[in-house]
């Protein structure tokens, strides 16, 4: 029944290839046609699939085995159920609007084709992300949408800021992926599979500690992709990209991937109550912190970026409270009104020739009426004014937080709700109302955007106003979306509150929203309260918020400059000094030993040899001397003596026997005499 599902990602993929290969030379300024035909095709089949799923169809289909080794394997495969179908619809609607809007917004850009190439690649990746049937494939397209985000943020790469922002986004997401990747590995190591349905079916086998560790790792991934504390820092900078892509990627679709992943793993997260509490807390903290920064931003896109972070925080609060449906519900309403806000801001920026500072705008209402009223619709939706969409979804999140016992996160959410209403209407008032602060130059070009831009905004404005309807019901939390998603999301049921309390909470949140709007009105329209005075009264808090709590600076100092670059420099020196030092040391030692040996040879060995030679020579000399004088002398002396004696004795040799006899007798007496003398 859903056999055509592969067509949905295929169309944008083909558009990507066509524009990528032929865009620069051939398609050029018709690139939008290719991409729009593709996204319309995808939207059509998404709708068909959605209807089929509403009627009860599901799909689980492996296309091919992608990676395997030993007992590990992961497939490329599709899964379609209520959650997928909901995401498909959100992506298709916002993407179609953004595509059409981009015709006007990107008109005349040098790299028109490149923009639509990236946009189609993004749509392909996003569809694949929500259609995946296993964690590895989710991870793959999780990175895929990250790549597109990187490319689109850095789209105007000839300025230094956009590529730097793109890199920052990629790296912050990589830090998150560190957790997500390890989480995926741990799922495999624990259950031996990465297939969603098998994992969810086997959750009961996992101990709480294992489940907690897995979910914490996955949640780290979600904080990267969905811009939560501590990894939200990339999203404000992401506004460097073209505004329509901010609407699509950084408001409606990609940044919700983290939420989608957690909702997809709801059974697993239910097994880890600690993680859920942490998610609720982090979500509420992010909602509050980002909202407080949005209060003081001057750049219209920065306000919206921080607003997105804050709203994503609400969604996490909903998930962390165990009401996954409320998170996805808010994801949907937010997709419409926040995409609209970005498109509206883009329209303003377009009209203002690129100016983003709201303090040099003002009074644009009469110049840009359609932009004004559509943004107004979005503002009432996000501020939580009933009966518009944001009210229903945000209120359900706050009620879930309250019901699940997360009272402090609930209170933080309420404060953030006040801030939300304030900063949105501050944006609206500063931009569209009051005296015009636009200078001559910009005033000259100021115009309402073309129909290609305003029509998608009108369409989204209608959705922003009415889309809450899918969640309205009595009794509460029993609307279409609850029934639809309830079949796949493992919502926790914390019982229901007394009706009076239920309505009390609802009334309270309306009150908060109205109060926020009122304060904005007093400060920026009535001007009865001076913003400067309020800022002065807030003192250091104002300064902190204005400087975004110095988080960028701290991260930069500790991680980038300190650990990474400092560490790199240190290790490089280590390489050069220690390791090469050892190698060179060995070389020098060798040379030294060589020299030493040489010297040893010359001085000692040769010395000894020479010495021995000298000694021998000396001895020889001596010998010669001795030979010549002493030995020879002695010899000669003996010889001479003998000769001399001989001469003397010759005379004795007379030949007469009597003489001999006499001598013998003399000798005899001498010996006898000596004998007696000595003894």
Partner 1 sequence: MLGTSNVLGFPILSTIASIPLLGALFIMFFIKKEDEELIRRASLATSILTFFASLILVFKFLRGTPDFQFVEKLTWIKSLGVSYFVGIDGMSLLLIILATVITFIGILSSWTAITQRVKEYYIFMLLLEVGMLGVFISLDVFLFYVFWEIMLVPMYFLIGIWGGERRLYAAIKFFLYTLCGSVLMLLGILTIYYQAGAQLGHYTFNMLEWYTVSIPQNTQWWVFLAFFVGFAVKVPMFPFHTWLPDAHVQAPTAGSVILAGVLLKMGTYGFARISMPLLPWATVKFVPFMVVLAIIGIIYGSLVAMVQKDMKKLVAYSSVAHLGFVMLGLYALNAQGITGGILQMINHGISTSGLFLCVGIIYERRHTRMISEFGGLSKQMPVFAVFYAIMTMSSLGLPGLNGFIGEFLILVGAFKANWMYAAWATTGIILGAGYLLWLFQRVMFGPLDNPKNEKLPDLSVREIFVMLPLVVWAFWIGLYPKPFIEILEPSVNHLVERINPPPQNVFRVGGVNMNAGTVYSVNAGSGHWSTGHGGGHGATSGGHGAEAGSSAVEHGAETTVPHGGGSHGGSH
Residues 110-139 that bind partner 1 (CB under 8 A): 133, 136, 139
Rounded Cα distance between 95 and 124, Å, is 11
669: contact with partner 1 by CB under 8 A: no
Q: CA 355 to CA 348: how far, in whole Å?
A: 8
Cβ proximity of 35 and 116 under 8 Å: yes
Burial class (CB in 10 A: 0-12, 13-18, 19+), 662: exposed
Question: Which are the contacts of 643, defined by CB distance < 8 A and separation ≥ 6?
Answer: none
Closer CB to partner 1, 186 or 375, in the complex: 186
For partner 1, the closer of residues 189 and 642 by Cβ is 189
Which segment (7-15, 69-77, 438-446, 542-550) binds partner 1 by CB under 8 A? 69-77
Kindly state the smallest distance separating residue 67's Cβ from partner 1, in Å: 6
C-alpha distances (whole Å) from 631 to each of 423, 616, 626 are: 125, 18, 6
Q: 566-585 mask for partner 1 (x: CB under 8 A)? A: -xxx-xx--x---xx--x--
284 CB-near residues (< 8 Å, 6+ apart) = 313, 317, 401, 406, 408, 409, 410, 412, 413, 416
Q: Where are the alpha helices (DSSP H) in 404-438?
A: 407-432
Does 65 bind partner 1 (CB under 8 A)? Our answer is: yes
Smallest separation, CB 349 to partner 1 (Å): 22
* Tokens describing residue 107: 């008109």
Is 515 a binding residue for partner 1 by CB under 8 A? The answer is no
Interface residue with partner 1 among 3, 55, 56, 70 (CB under 8 A) is: 70
Nearer to partner 1, 162 or 344 (CB): 162
- Residues 6 or more apart whose CB falls under 8 angstroms from that of 223 comprise 176, 229, 230, 231, 232, 258, 282
Decide: residue 164, CB within 10 A, 0-12 exposed, 13-18 middle, 19+ buried: middle
* Rounded Cα distance, 98 and 579, in Å: 55
Site residues for partner 1, 29-58, by CB under 8 A, read: none
What are the angstrom distances between the C-alpha of 489 and each of 262, 327, 494, 603?
Answer: 10, 11, 15, 90
Q: Decide if residue 564 touches partner 1 (CB under 8 A).
A: yes
**Near partner 1 by CB under 8 A: residue from 71, 108, 475, 495:** 71
Q: Under the criterion CB under 8 A, does residue 6 sit at the interface with partner 1? A: no
Instruction: Kindly tell me which residue out of 63, 499, 554, 661 binds partner 1, with binding defined by CB under 8 A.
Output: 63
Structure tokens at 658: 């009597």
Considering only residues 75-104, where is the footprint of partner 1 by CB under 8 A? 75
Distance of closest approach, residue 574 Cβ to partner 1, in angstroms = 8
Question: Is residue 558 part of the contact set for partner 1 (CB under 8 A)?
Answer: no
CB of 113 to partner 1, least distance (A): 11
Of the pair 132, 381, the CB lying nearest partner 1 is at 132
For the CB of residue 213, give the shortest distance to partner 1 in the complex, in Å.
Answer: 9
Q: How far is the CB of 272 from partner 1 (least distance, A)?
A: 14
As measured in angstroms, the least distance from the Cβ of 591 to partner 1 is 13
Residue 105: which residues within 8 A CB-CB, separation 6 or more?
242, 243, 244, 346, 350, 449, 453
The beta strand positions in 33-106, using DSSP E, are: 59-69, 72-80
Q: Does 62 bind partner 1 (CB under 8 A)?
A: yes
Beta carbon nearer to partner 1, 63 or 637: 63
Under DSSP, the state recorded for 30 is: G
Q: Nearest approach, Cβ of 260 to partner 1 (angstroms)?
A: 17
Binds partner 1 (CB under 8 A): choice among 207, 530, 653, 659: 207
Q: Which of 3, 108, 158, 677 binds partner 1 (CB under 8 A)?
A: 158
* Candidate list 164, 360, 490, 535; residue touching partner 1; CB under 8 A: 164
Q: In the complex with partner 1, which residue's Cβ is closer, 235 or 379?
A: 235
66 binds partner 1 (CB under 8 A): yes
Stretch that binds partner 1, among 204-212, 232-240, 377-385, 395-403 (CB under 8 A): 204-212
Residue 323 is a binding residue for partner 1 (CB under 8 A) = no
- Distance CA(90)–CA(379), nearest Å, equals 20
Tell me which of 6, 7, 17, 24 binds partner 1, using CB under 8 A.
24
Mask for 475-504, x = binds partner 1 (CB under 8 A): ------------------------------
Q: Residue 237 interacts with partner 1 (CB under 8 A)?
A: no
Least distance from partner 1 to the Cβ atom of residue 575, Å: 6
Shortest gap between Cβ of 577 and partner 1 (angstroms)?
A: 11
- The structure tokens 């999301």 sit at 489
Helix (H, G, I), strand (E, B) or coil at 446: coil
Cα–Cα dist 668/663, whole Å: 8
Instruction: Tell me the HSE value of 413 on the side-chain side, using a 13 A CA sphere.
Output: 34
Please choose, from the candidates 345, 232, 342, 216, the residue with its C-alpha nearest in 3D space to the C-alpha of residue 287: 232
Residues 429-448 binding partner 1 (CB under 8 A) are: none
Q: Given the complex with partner 1, which of 174 and 494 has the nearer CB atom?
A: 174
Handedness of CA 101, 106, 112, 116 (dihedral sign): negative
Residue 474, Cβ neighbours under 10 Å: how many?
7
Nearer to partner 1, 69 or 678 (CB): 69
Contacts of partner 1 in 174-203 (CB under 8 A): 174-175, 177-178, 181-182, 185-186, 188-193, 195-198, 201-202
Distance CA(183)–CA(210), nearest Å, equals: 10
Instruction: State yes or no: residue 60 binds partner 1 (CB under 8 A).
Output: yes
Whole-angstrom distance, CA of residue 82 vs CA of residue 486: 9
Taking the least distance from each CB to partner 1, the nearer of 166 and 318 is 166
Residue 165 near residue 240 (C-beta atoms within 8 A): yes
């Amino acid at each position: 029944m859903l056999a055509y599902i592969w067509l949905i990602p295929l169309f944008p993929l083909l558009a990507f290839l066509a524009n990528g290969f032929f865009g620069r030379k051939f398609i050029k300024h018709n690139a939008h046609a290719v991409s729009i035909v593709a996204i319309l095709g995808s939207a059509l089949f998404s709708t068909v699939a959605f209807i089929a799923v509403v009627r009860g169809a599901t799909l689980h289909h492996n296309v091919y085995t992608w990676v395997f080794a030993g007992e590990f394997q992961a497939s490329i495969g599709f899964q379609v159920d209520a959650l997928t179908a909901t995401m498909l619809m959100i992506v298709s609607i916002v993407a179609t609007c953004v595509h059409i809007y981009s015709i006007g917004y990107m008109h005349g850009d040098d790299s028109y084709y490149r923009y639509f190439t990236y946009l189609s690649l993004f749509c392909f990746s996003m569809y694949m992300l929500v259609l995946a049937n296993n964690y590895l494939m989710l991870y793959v397209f999780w990175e895929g949408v990250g790549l597109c985000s990187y490319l689109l943020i850095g789209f105007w790469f000839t300025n230094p800021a956009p590529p730097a922002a793109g890199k920052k986004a990629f790296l912050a997401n990589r830090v998150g992926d560190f957790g997500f990747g390890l989480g995926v590995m741990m799922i495999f190591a624990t259950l031996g599979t990465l297939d969603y349905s098998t994992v969810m079916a086997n959750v009961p086998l996992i101990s709480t500690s294992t489940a907690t560790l897995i979910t914490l790792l996955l949640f780290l991934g979600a904080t990267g992709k969905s811009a939560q504390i501590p990894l939200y820092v990339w999203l404000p900078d992401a506004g460097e990209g073209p505004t329509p892509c901010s609407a699509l990627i950084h408001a409606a679709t990609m940044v919700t991937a983290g939420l989608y992943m957690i909702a997809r793993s709801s059974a697993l997260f239910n097994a880890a109550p600690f993680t859920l509490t942490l998610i609720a807390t982090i979500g509420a903290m992010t909602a509050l912190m980002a909202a407080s920064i949005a209060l003081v931003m001057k750049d219209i896109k920065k306000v919206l970026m921080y607003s997105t972070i804050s709203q994503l925080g609400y969604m996490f609060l909903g998930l962390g409270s165990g009401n996954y449906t409320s998170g996805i519900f808010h994801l949907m309403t937010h997709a419409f009104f926040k995409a609209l806000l970005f498109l509206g801001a883009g329209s303003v920026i377009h009209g203002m020739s690129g100016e983003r500072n709201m303090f040099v705008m003002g009074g644009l209402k009469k110049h840009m009426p359609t932009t004004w009223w559509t943004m107004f619709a979005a503002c009432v939706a996000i501020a939580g004014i009933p009966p518009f969409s944001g009210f229903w979804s945000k209120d359900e999140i706050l009620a879930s937080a309250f019901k699940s016992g997360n009272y402090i996160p609930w209170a933080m959410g309420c404060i953030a709700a006040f801030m939300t209403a304030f900063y949105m209407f501050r944006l609206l008032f500063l931009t569209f109302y009051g005296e015009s602060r636009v200078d001559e130059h910009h005033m000259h070009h100021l115009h309402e955007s073309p129909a290609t831009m305003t029509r998608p905004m009108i369409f989204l404005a209608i959705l922003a106003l009415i889309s809450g309807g899918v969640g309205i019901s009595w009794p509460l939390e029993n609307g279409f979306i609850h029934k639809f998603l309830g079949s796949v999301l493992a919502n926790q049921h914390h019982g229901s509150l007394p009706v009076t309390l239920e309505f009390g909470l609802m009334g309270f949140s309306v009150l908060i929203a109205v109060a926020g709007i009122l304060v904005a009105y007093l400060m920026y329209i009535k001007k009865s309260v001076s913003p400067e005075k309020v800022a002065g009264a807030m003192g250091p808090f104002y300064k902190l918020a204005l400087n975004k709590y110095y988080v960028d600076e701290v991260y930069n100092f500790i991680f980038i400059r300190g650990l990474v670059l400092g560490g790199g420099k240190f290790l490089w020196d280590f390489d050069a000094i220690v390791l090469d030092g050892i190698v060179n040391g060995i070389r020098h030692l060798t040379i030294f030993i060589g020299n030493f040996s040489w010297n040893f040879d010359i001085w000692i060995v040769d010395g000894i040899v020479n010495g021995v030679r000298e000694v021998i020579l000396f001895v020889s000399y001596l010998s010669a001397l001795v030979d010549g004088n002493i030995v020879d002398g002695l010899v000669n002396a003996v010889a001479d003596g003998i000769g001399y004696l001989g001469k003397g004795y010759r005379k004795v040799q007379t030949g007469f026997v009597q003489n001999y006899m006499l001598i013998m007798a003399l000798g005899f007496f001498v010996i006898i005499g000596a004998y007696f003398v000595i003894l």
